[in-house]
Structure 1
Amino acid sequence: MRQTKPMPATVQRWAEQRIGPVVAIRDASHDWYRSKVWELESSGARRWYAKVSPSEKFFTRETRAYRHVVPVLGHSRAPDLVDSRAEDLVLLLTAVPGAPAPGLALTTG
């Protein structure tokens, strides 16, 4: 069983400056010690994700992908990058319908 990770206050304040007051926070990290992801709920039941990258390399790679590759996929086919903050290696993403692939128990067929 993994330990629940609290969201850093600086990350929450930064996210709220972009999306407004947050009414609920849920740890959505993967079962990996460097995974730091939180699902945020703002007023009107809108959902977002704040993700702290494990390193500057991952942050740079993921930020570039969300800015330049994801828009080509089309609206609602992948999360949109709302904003990023290099000082905290954090990305703020929209939520999209669906389930994470690791939890789907997919087969090669």
Structure 2
Amino acid sequence: MSAREFARPYPTVSCDDDALDAVGPLTEHQMPAPYAIGHWPPRRRFRPPFVGSEASALQIAALMSRTPSPLVAVVGRDGERSEVVGAVTAARLVERLIGGS
């Protein structure tokens, strides 16, 4: 199963967004807002963990084990453009690996 198949939509924000605008979608959908706020990157180059849309569950698990993040963005390509198609949380990954829906 590819990352695209079990990724869930996840709101994205940038360092330029207002804090309230950034937290709103996360709390509205009961997503890990404290993690997002507590680890807000400084204004320097920050590269969050991501995989291509065809990555396997094991590839995502390996990436999570190498990075201090329980969240991996899934990025798809549309011609020359790349876009975030969703995210895989550690909980969702474990659920898929043990046979959940």
* TM-score above 0.5: no
Higher strand share: 1
Taking structure 1 as the reference length, the TM-score comes to 0.27
